[in-house]
Amino acid sequence: MNLTGRLHDVFVEDFRKELAEIQSLEAKRLFVLAKANHLVHLRIGEYVALVAAADLTGHYGVGVLIESCLADTLASVERTRRLIRTSLKPRSQPEQPPSFAL
């Protein structure tokens, strides 16, 4: 299947235009992380559809390979989420270790 790449072109065009309008460096960093997160979620949707297609056609090995790619992508989402949370914390606030209540 040939893809035109139009979705990618529109995304990049909008990204550049919106990024140029942002003045604050911190806001720019957060914007880039949020857009990266959007792209990753699009990729997750593609992987889920491909796994379903592989299962429907009986290509279970292919489905397993794609699921491993999906797992890596989900790990990337968690790292990005952590970066976003970290960037939103005030710089003067010290890192608190997690408390475990029994």
Structure confidence by residue, pLDDT tens digits, 42-96: 889 999 999 999 999 999 999 999 999 999 989 988 888 888 788 777 666 556 6
pTM, full prediction: 0.66
Q: Place 100 in a pLDDT band, splitting at 50, 70 and 90.
A: low
Phi and psi (nearest 5°) for 35?
A: -65, -40
Q: What is the helix (H) or strand (E) element at residue 12, kind and residue range?
A: helix 6-21
